[in-house]
Structure 1
Amino acid sequence: MTRKIVFKGILAAATLVTLHSGAQAGGLERGGYNIDLLFDPSTVAIESTTTYVAPQRKLKNARDNNPLDGTGSNGIGGGSTTADDTEGYWAPRIGIKGAIGDSVDCMFDYSQPWGAHAKPGRNWVGANNNTETKIESDNYAATCSYRFDVGPGQLRLIGGAFYQEVSGFKERLVAPAGFSGVLGNGIGRLDLEGNGWGWRTGVAYEIPEYALRASLVYNSEVNLDNITGTVNLSQVNGAVIPVYGSQKTPDSLELKLQSGIAPDWLAFGSVKWTDWSQLQKIPFCAVGTSSCSLSNAVTSLELGYRDGWTITGGIGHKFNEQWSGAVSITWDRGTSQGFGTQTDTWLLGAGVGYQPSKNVEIRLSGAIGILTGGSSGSVTLDGVSYGGDVSYSFKDDLVAAVSTSLKVRF
């Protein structure tokens, strides 16, 4: 028990470093899933965390591959060959954990696991592909564990469920203002929303006196089989078309390891797989259509992702009874396959934890990283074409993140 208390501050700083290090992962990941609060040794613990991420992806050498599809010098989208593609975002999380007797712990939390915000604007030559896309999510979860003695430590069985809401929109140039029949600025907009349930299961083994913990947690996909929305062409031809579709959010599997390596020193790491390859070209069809496919879709979202891998490693140190710190490095494999900007990301993170009393912890961490360069253009994946309307390149760009956290124990 003594060693468990000694390492507690280090674990807090390490947790926050790894949390924000995953905030710029591939696909549509923002906060992702995190159940570290479940392992807090207190009877009751409440934690609130906020992460801000500022990616700086800049598109260059853009070329309209088909000038007949809506761009041109006489309307929106006929201008710049460069664009600032990404927008900064917040990833909040709040949770409460309670112990039930000596063996059961339960956690309830709210988070925003998925999201995206690309806004290259209306005055670049790729406006017929995208002027603004935004995706948001809300996740409400309950997770419990049962632990019992096995050998020198404790084995913990983990299970839970979560309810997820996903919404968003995409705007792009359909036909430029001034073309025959165009009623306004020529921008079309797709609005969508859906919801569904998921579940998680896992196992962990802990030896508190050595600050050793190994956990393996699987999070299921969420079947958004009731996505509804509209294709708004009121600025093009006056039409507003109700649409529907379906899509599954990715399932994931994460292995986390940590162990004391010397007095007041801790090593930690994780490996995570995420099934982003589920997100390819997603069709949306007019309400009333008997079945929805790419062949009868009103419009579609083009993603063309491959599976994601995220690997993190780091070291934490307890300086004294109040202060601890940690550093980490993270590699995230890009999910794009020649279409889009989701290339490999490298992040260097550092965090500090301050514990003014045994009941309160305050943590601050930051990260700086590189979004590796590449290009996007026309590709064919599994017989389906992507990126035929615009091509562009991008160099290595910076991403920065900062996280703050407050934990109160009872």
Structure 2
Amino acid sequence: MRKALLQACALSVGATGAYAGGLDRSGQGVNILFEEGSVVQLRLGYVNPDVSGEQNGVPSGNVTNDFFTPGLAYKHSFSERVDFALIYDQPFGADIEYPTDYPLSINPVPPAIGGRTGVLAATADVDAITALLRYKFDGGFSAIGGIRAQRASANVTVPIVAGYEFDADAETDFGYVVGVAWERPEIAARVSLTYNSKITHKFSSTESFNQAPPVPAALVTIDDETEVETPQSVNLDFQTGVAPKTLLFGSIRWVDWPQTVLAPDAYVGIVGDNLVDYEDETFTYTLGLGYQFSEEFSGAVSVGYERDTGSIVSNLGPTNGFWSLGVGGTYSIENAQISGGVRYTDVGDATTTTGGEFSGNSAWSVGFQITYSLG
């Protein structure tokens, strides 16, 4: 019964943290550690964003592509005090593409033979596997620690800068997770605090662009090493029973986005600025209420909020803050809890570094999750 209620609460916030901080996708949660016994969990989210604006009077249309957010986790109890979890997720990502007639998609330098063509676009793929241990002390307290292996790759094209393209080969690097938790099971109370370290990737990268007149037309290609950090973050999650069959839950997530800077040497030399950076850290808040309707079915509703910082943003991430509303439900069948959720996100208006204006944007997210008890 309590398992189903907790699953419904989790799915009411969606299977994704879409547009939290612009690139945040999974939220890097560790709730699998608090499942009873040994379990395996499969999660799949789908996000349909609609983000559009205009630059110099030219409309962009929807510049964001739909994406999936898969997740897989396994939790095993070695003893009454020691738990282990293995989690696969995609913590960060980007998939943005502008039309060919958008001002920033037009190359002002005539391409050389073999020169770059295309549109203003960016993709970033980040996959992570996290191994965690939890040790339970007396009094309901526990300590959490583990290692995260993260594989990342990226591609960015900026035609307005002489047909510029940046391509980074996939690279795997490591970080860590530490945390503490407190529980009081008889009232379904729990508070957990986890810290996710930054992870530094040193990519083997290629930059290419068209050489501008008066020199002879040519495609310039530079192979180099480019360092990028995915940001450190802190998650505070809490829940408590507030009435029979009723659970209050919420979370606060802080992400140190200014740590993430993409500054390839050639691009900085041409433009005099970073290719991607962020001015502000973000705080994302969630608050919700779950209710057990029957022995088999539980439901939940939640609201989410991230403040508009008021700062200008990159054209490769033209959003700023959001609010969201999510609903979820879980049905229990013997050893399985089958959950589904839907979430609407009102994406914040944004002004980009080149004066682009983006407003009236939104995203729909749906999620499916199955948690199976192994005993």
* TM-score of the pair, normalised by structure 2: 0.88
Give the match for residue 62 of structure 2. 84
- Counting only pairs closer than 5 Å after superposition, residues 271-350 of structure 1 correspond to structure 2 as 271-280=252-261, 282-285=262-265, 294=268, 300-334=274-308, 337-340=311-314, 341-350=318-327
Conservation of the 8 A alpha-carbon contact between 2:15 and 2:43: no
Give the match for residue 111 of structure 2. none
Which one of 83, 98, 104 corresponds to residue 76 of structure 2? 98
- The CA deviation at 1:356 is 1.4
Q: Which amino acid aligns with 1:220?
A: S
Question: Residues 138 and 214 of structure 1: is their aligned pair in 2 closer, same or farther, counting only changes over 3 Å?
Answer: same
Aligned residues: 354
- The CA deviation at 1:190 is 1.1
Give the match for residue 112 of structure 2. none
CA separation in 2, counterparts of 1:244 and 1:298? 19
CA separation in 2, counterparts of 1:284 and 1:371? 29
CA separation in 2, counterparts of 1:45 and 1:298? 52
CA separation in 1, counterparts of 2:106 and 2:159? 4
CA separation in 2, counterparts of 1:342 and 1:297? 23
- The CA deviation at 1:128 is 5.1
Which one of 215, 225, 236 corresponds to residue 244 of structure 1? 225
Which one of 356, 368, 373 corresponds to residue 404 of structure 1? 368
Q: Which amino acid aligns with 1:407?
A: T
CA separation in 1, counterparts of 2:77 and 2:373? 12
Which one of 137, 147, 162 corresponds to residue 126 of structure 2? 137
1:23 aligned to 2:13?
A: no
- The CA deviation at 1:245 is 1.4
CA separation in 1, counterparts of 2:131 and 2:254? 22
Which one of 187, 192, 196 corresponds to residue 173 of structure 2? 196
Q: Which amino acid aligns with 1:63?
A: N
1:262 aligned to 2:249?
A: no
The alignment-based identity, stated in percent, is: 27
CA separation in 2, counterparts of 1:105 and 1:137? 26
Give the match for residue 331 of structure 2. 354
Q: Which amino acid aligns with 1:56?
A: D
Q: Which amino acid aligns with 1:310?
A: T
- Residues 189-225 of structure 1 deviation map (CA, whole Å, 9 limit, x = unaligned): 211133321101111111111111011111111122x
- Residues 30-80 of structure 1 deviation map (CA, whole Å, 9 limit, x = unaligned): 1131111110012x20001011111111112x129xxxxxxxxxxxxxxx4
Conservation of the 8 A alpha-carbon contact between 2:148 and 2:175: yes
Conservation of the 8 A alpha-carbon contact between 1:231 and 1:242: yes
Conservation of the 8 A alpha-carbon contact between 1:304 and 1:337: no
Conservation of the 8 A alpha-carbon contact between 2:236 and 2:251: yes
Conservation of the 8 A alpha-carbon contact between 2:15 and 2:45: yes
Conservation of the 8 A alpha-carbon contact between 2:254 and 2:284: yes
SS in 1 for 2:104: coil
1:366 aligned to 2:346?
A: no
Structure 1 runs of 4+ with >4 Å offset? 293-300
Question: Residues 120 and 297 of structure 1: is their aligned pair in 2 closer, same or farther, counting only changes over 3 Å?
Answer: closer
1:48 aligned to 2:42?
A: yes
- Residues 233-270 of structure 1 deviation map (CA, whole Å, 9 limit, x = unaligned): 48973333212211221111111110011110000011
Q: Which amino acid aligns with 1:134?
A: T
CA separation in 1, counterparts of 2:298 and 2:248? 13
Give the match for residue 116 of structure 2. none
RMSD over aligned CA atoms reads 2.3
Give the match for residue 137 of structure 2. 148
Give the stretch that moved more between structures: 300-309 or 48-57. 300-309
Question: Residues 17 and 218 of structure 1: is their aligned pair in 2 closer, same or farther, counting only changes over 3 Å?
Answer: same
Q: Which amino acid aligns with 1:391?
A: G
Conservation of the 8 A alpha-carbon contact between 1:121 and 1:132: no
Q: Which amino acid aligns with 1:264?
A: K
CA separation in 2, counterparts of 1:278 and 1:27? 14
CA separation in 2, counterparts of 1:249 and 1:336? 23
SS in 1 for 2:8: helix
- The CA deviation at 1:136 is 0.6
Give the stretch that moved more between structures: 315-324 or 7-16. 7-16
Question: Residues 250 and 190 of structure 1: is their aligned pair in 2 closer, same or farther, counting only changes over 3 Å?
Answer: same
Conservation of the 8 A alpha-carbon contact between 1:244 and 1:285: no
- The CA deviation at 1:344 is 1.4
Conservation of the 8 A alpha-carbon contact between 1:23 and 1:32: no
CA separation in 2, counterparts of 1:363 and 1:89? 20
Q: Which amino acid aligns with 2:56?
A: R
Conservation of the 8 A alpha-carbon contact between 2:19 and 2:347: no
CA separation in 2, counterparts of 1:264 and 1:188? 58
Question: Residues 81 and 342 of structure 1: is their aligned pair in 2 closer, same or farther, counting only changes over 3 Å?
Answer: closer
CA separation in 2, counterparts of 1:131 and 1:336? 24
Question: Residues 96 and 364 of structure 1: is their aligned pair in 2 closer, same or farther, counting only changes over 3 Å?
Answer: same
